[in-house]
Structure 1
Amino acid sequence: MITTPLTGELVRGAAELETTARGVLPHRLPRWVRTRFPDPQLMGAESRPSGVRIVLDTEATAVELVLHPTHVSYRGTTRPRGSVDLLVDGADHASAQLHGGDHVETDVRTGTVEVHEGGPCTLRFDGLPGRAKVVELWLPHNETVHLVALRTDAPVRPVESTKRIWLHHGSSISHGSNAATPTAVWPAVAARQGGVELHNLGFGGSAMVDPFTARVLRDRPAGLISVKLGINVVNFDLMRLRAFVPAVHGFLDTIRDGHPDTPLVLMSPIFCEIYEDTPGPGGMDMDALAEGRVVFTATGPHGTLPQLTLRIIRDALKSIVDQRDDDSHLHYLDGTELYGEKDAVEHPLPDALHPDTVTHGLMGRRFAEYAFGPGGPFSLPAPPA
């Protein structure tokens, strides 16, 4: 087996690769953000590499990837382990679940955290076709991983991408919460259907209209941009309407400083019954937790208008886009077009907050049809007659 260093030539979708004692750690936010605002929630989210993948050209029939994962769970419950998905020339080929690594266990009732250390994990993929091909290894969206080694039975070469880059920012739903594998996350589903290269800046619990996130979006190369805002502002009870509206305007202004004419979709939250008319902050259902289930709740007073709810957020975001009518490349998408009240009957959110794998697929396909379909904001111009 040939060992190939894991460098930026092979790893896509990451802002930076940090060399550590354990291996190479992909980051989705640059160091200057992590230094200035080392919020534990954000640091955990940005280090879980949703959308990050290793891409190589090779005749190898066997690929081994050695990782040191970190798995996070709540005491008394079990959470599915992350996976690595392997694609061959863009088609699904295999998926392997992580094992080993460190386990960080949080007791929600007391706030105590215990770390159980473990060893690295080796995933082997056999039976690949022996011809020249493009192999993609999509890293787990729900576990932090240090990349220890890449081994193949034939040499590998970097692949130059010719696809348009789609830069997407959102909350835990965009990050992939409750999706089974990294290619099942709805932005990944949409990107594959739309034939674009995804750079996913979905951060669980951390889509807060932060100015530094807008600067990252401004400075990253992108041919397409989408921003999905609102749910974290509500479930953290972070702002009132007076602060939210100008913050979103400023967020968009910053993006436009670097991408003045790039197609930009501003998306509102999907349907989430617990927050439609009840503000945050969010909490956990302790009775469900005692049964080993994770279920989220909204704790704010029902119908209190000064606090933000999802219905208020959607109206505000639509008004913001209407007010910016001088920007012909800015588009508004109501999140309930991806997942609405009727969908909640057939595809209920398992924890009352995040969609399951089937619903991620539904959302991804719907976004692809909206954005990449004929006349959509991300569609290619029709060829000349």
Structure 2
Amino acid sequence: MLARDDWTTTTITPDLVFGALELEHTERGVLPHRLPGRARAQSADPQLALAEAQPSGVRLAFRTRATAVELDTVPTKRVYPGAPPRPDGVYDLLVDGRLTDQAVVSGGDTLRIDLATGSVEHRPGPPGTLRFTGLPDRAKDVEIWLPHNETTELVALRANALIEPLPDRGRRVWLHHGSSISHGSDAAGPTTTWPALAASLGAVDLVNLGLGGSALLDPFTARTMRDTAADLISVKIGINLVNADLMRLRAFGPAVHGFLDTIREGHPSVPLLVVSPIHCAIHEDTPGPCDFDTEALKAGQLRFRATGDPAERSQGKLTLTVIRQELSRIVRQRADEDPNLHYLDGLDLYGEADSGELPLPDRLHPDAAAHRRMGERFAALAFGEGGPFSGEGA
């Protein structure tokens, strides 16, 4: 047991939480949100509500001499009857920027989601305690990255030495928006989602608005990005619009222009990178909607399938191939008036050859190895020499 005589409890305040745009005070503690309340109020979509409250990229960061730190949290565990059990969300501990430990928290609430009927049942549960010990006995920067895929209420932060906010490290802030792939999908942990890996390699502070199932060109997301301080901005557009079968080509182009226009209202000259979809065989030339593969579910496997008809492309239905062509065209069209707008083909992050070597396990989301490859490639292409985020000419 750890002696408690010299332990202190630190109030969890915004200056200790990075990557969240709002902290909601609850009966049990604080709940990090990645979309502010005004944006959340403009959508009744339960998928968006679930995704934005999962703290991908959100971390507690502070300076301390403590050798032991505890964090009480209330995680929300998701259960899908008939599907393989989901692993517990992982917390990553970084000391002076290096991953030194990982842990999970038991207990918490349970969200039971029936994929066949769409019914959802919420069962409350007790808080759990995350405990990291054996930290070096010196002044150091400590980061606790919250699970990227598990809603997490923060209840109490304790340590056996004083906890202080980090001093300004002078890092650029990278604001990124995308789908479940940017959210983290099947990454191994919160610091190994492809955006987190790329941010680490680029030595920038990440604000991740990767929202599973919800990269849908929503105006409130664009306004959130407009109003969020950032030095670098990227938007990864495409896969959700196809698998939701949300709009046709006629609406897509103007919606992209409007999304970019809104961002530019708040960030007129910040480097802005438009990223098209990575390779996904089921939707390259077949429109959505996307649905669960029921035969795979019966066998205890989670897989997706495209249910559209390739012939419907002539009617304006979107595929990934169509979206890449349109995004490239839009960026070229705007380039003369916006020299800080750039385009990155998602196939350069994960292409057809990569899908042969590192196939998408559920036909839609990359696994841990593919996340690492994408993060390293994005860092080289965006932050590397000559890249739009390199800072050259700034």
Task: Provide the TM-score with structure 1 as the length reference.
Answer: 0.98
The separation in 2 between residues aligned to 1:250 and 1:111, in whole angstroms, is 32
Instruction: Give the match for residue 74 of structure 1.
Output: 80
Q: 2:39 aligns with which of 20, 33, 42?
A: 33
Q: 1:313 aligns with which of 313, 317, 323?
A: 323
Instruction: Give the match for residue 272 of structure 1.
Output: 280
8 Å CA contact 2:23–2:31 kept in 1: the answer is: yes
SS across alignment from 1:254: helix
Give the alignment of 1:242-321 within 5 angstroms. 242-305=250-313, 306-321=316-331
In the TM superposition, residue 308 of structure 1 has moved relative to its aligned partner by 0.3
Instruction: Give the match for residue 107 of structure 1.
Output: 114
Q: 1:373 aligns with which of 384, 390, 394?
A: 384
Instruction: Give the match for residue 332 of structure 1.
Output: 343
In the TM superposition, residue 380 of structure 1 has moved relative to its aligned partner by 2.5
Q: Extract unaligned runs of 5+ from structure 1.
A: none
The separation in 1 between residues aligned to 2:136 and 2:305, in whole angstroms, is 48
Q: 2:49 aligns with which of 29, 43, 64?
A: 43
In the TM superposition, residue 247 of structure 1 has moved relative to its aligned partner by 0.4
* 1:175 to 2:186 alignment: no
The separation in 1 between residues aligned to 2:122 and 2:268, in whole angstroms, is 46
The separation in 1 between residues aligned to 2:136 and 2:260, in whole angstroms, is 45
In the TM superposition, residue 369 of structure 1 has moved relative to its aligned partner by 0.2
Instruction: Give the match for residue 233 of structure 1.
Output: 241
Instruction: Give the match for residue 92 of structure 1.
Output: 99
Residue by residue, what CA displacement relative to the aligned partner does 1:38-93 show, whole Å, maximum 9, x if unpaired? Answer: 32111111000100000000000001011001012311221111111000000111
The separation in 1 between residues aligned to 2:38 and 2:121, in whole angstroms, is 29
In the TM superposition, residue 204 of structure 1 has moved relative to its aligned partner by 0.3
8 Å CA contact 2:193–2:372 kept in 1: the answer is: yes
SS across alignment from 1:367: helix
* 1:124 to 2:131 alignment: yes
8 Å CA contact 1:277–1:303 kept in 2: the answer is: no
In the TM superposition, residue 160 of structure 1 has moved relative to its aligned partner by 2.9
Q: 1:189 aligns with which of 178, 193, 197?
A: 197
The separation in 2 between residues aligned to 1:285 and 1:382, in whole angstroms, is 49
8 Å CA contact 1:165–1:222 kept in 2: the answer is: yes
The separation in 1 between residues aligned to 2:266 and 2:295, in whole angstroms, is 48
Give the alignment of 1:139-218 within 5 angstroms. 139-161=146-168, 162-218=170-226
SS across alignment from 2:41: helix
8 Å CA contact 1:86–1:138 kept in 2: the answer is: yes
The separation in 2 between residues aligned to 1:278 and 1:71, in whole angstroms, is 33
SS across alignment from 2:312: coil
The separation in 2 between residues aligned to 1:153 and 1:344, in whole angstroms, is 48
8 Å CA contact 2:42–2:220 kept in 1: the answer is: no
Instruction: Give the match for residue 4 of structure 2.
Output: none
Instruction: Give the match for residue 17 of structure 2.
Output: 11
8 Å CA contact 2:243–2:306 kept in 1: the answer is: yes
In the TM superposition, residue 291 of structure 1 has moved relative to its aligned partner by 1.6
The separation in 2 between residues aligned to 1:14 and 1:21, in whole angstroms, is 19
The separation in 2 between residues aligned to 1:317 and 1:244, in whole angstroms, is 10
The separation in 1 between residues aligned to 2:79 and 2:243, in whole angstroms, is 20
The separation in 2 between residues aligned to 1:115 and 1:381, in whole angstroms, is 50
Letter in 2 for 1:15: L
The separation in 2 between residues aligned to 1:130 and 1:38, in whole angstroms, is 48
Aligned length: 383
The separation in 2 between residues aligned to 1:166 and 1:160, in whole angstroms, is 18
SS across alignment from 1:109: coil
In the TM superposition, residue 119 of structure 1 has moved relative to its aligned partner by 1.2
Residue by residue, what CA displacement relative to the aligned partner does 1:174-220 show, whole Å, maximum 9, x if unpaired? Answer: 00011121001000000000000000000000000011111111110
Letter in 2 for 1:106: I
Letter in 1 for 2:358: H
